[in-house]
Amino acid sequence: MNESLDYLMRPQSIRDCAMQIRDLTRCGDGVFILDESRLEMTSELVAESIRQKYPTNEIPLHSRWRHFEVENNNSLQKLNNATKDYSSLDLARMGLDLIIPSVLLDAGAGPNWHFKTNSGAVLSRSEGLGIASLEMFLSGFFSDDPSQPFRTDGKALSKLDLVNFTDHMQSSEKNPLVGLNNRLLLLQKLGKLILLEPKVFPSARLGDLADHLITNSTNKISATQILSTILRLFGRMWPQRIIISGINLGDAWQYSHPKNKNKIIVPFHKLSQWLTYSIAETFLRSGYAVSDIEKLTGLAEYRNGGLFIDTGVLKLKSEFIKPNYAIDSRTVVEWRALTVYLLDQISDHISNILGQELSLPRVLEGGTWHVGRKLAYERSPLGESPLNINTDGTVF
**Cα–Cα–Cα angle for 42, 45, 59, rounded to 5 degrees:** 115
Position 393 scores a pLDDT of 64
Position 134 scores a pLDDT of 96
Choose among 350, 317, 349, 351: nearest CA to 334. Answer: 317
The tens digit of pLDDT for each residue in 142-177 reads 999 999 999 999 999 999 999 999 999 999 999 999
Separation between Cα atoms, residue 50 and residue 201, nearest integer Å:
40
Residues facing residue 218 across a β-bridge: 220
Helix axis angle, 125-138 relative to 88-104, nearest 10°?
130
* 3-class secondary structure, 390: strand
The residue that leads in pLDDT, 150 or 71, is: 150
Helix axis angle, 208-215 relative to 223-234, nearest 10°?
130
pLDDT at position 2 over 60? no
Contact 65, 285 (CB under 8 A): yes
Contact 249, 265 (CB under 8 A): yes
Ramachandran class of 151: left when φ > 0, alpha when ψ lies in -120 to 50, beta otherwise: beta
Choose among 374, 247, 275, 387: nearest CA to 320. Answer: 387
Separation between Cα atoms, residue 141 and residue 24, nearest integer Å:
48
User: How confident is residue 107, by pLDDT bands cut at 50, 70 and 90?
Assistant: confident
The tens digit of pLDDT for each residue in 190-214 reads 999 999 999 999 999 999 999 999 9
Choose among 343, 362, 348: nearest CA to 280. Answer: 362
If you average pLDDT over residues 338-352, what whole number do you get? 96
User: How confident is residue 179, by pLDDT bands cut at 50, 70 and 90?
Assistant: confident
The tens digit of pLDDT for each residue in 29-41 reads 999 999 999 999 9
pLDDT at position 8 over 70? yes
Separation between Cα atoms, residue 301 and residue 251, nearest integer Å:
11
Cα torsion at 257, 299, 273, 177 (round to 10°)?
-100
Separation between Cα atoms, residue 73 and residue 116, nearest integer Å:
11
Separation between Cα atoms, residue 247 and residue 234, nearest integer Å:
9
Count of C-beta atoms within a 10 Å radius of residue 248: 18
Q: What is the DSSP string of 334-359?
A: HHHHHHHHHHHHHHHHHHHHHTS---
Contact 176, 113 (CB under 8 A): yes
AA letter at 365: E
Position 396 scores a pLDDT of 61
Position 239 scores a pLDDT of 81
Q: Are strands 325-326 and 389-390 parallel, antiparallel or unpaired?
A: parallel
Residues facing residue 255 across a β-bridge: 264
Distances in Å between the Cα of 208 and the Cα atoms of 36, 64, 101, 195 are: 45, 20, 14, 12
AA letter at 57: N
Cut 0.85: pTM above it: yes
Position 227 scores a pLDDT of 96
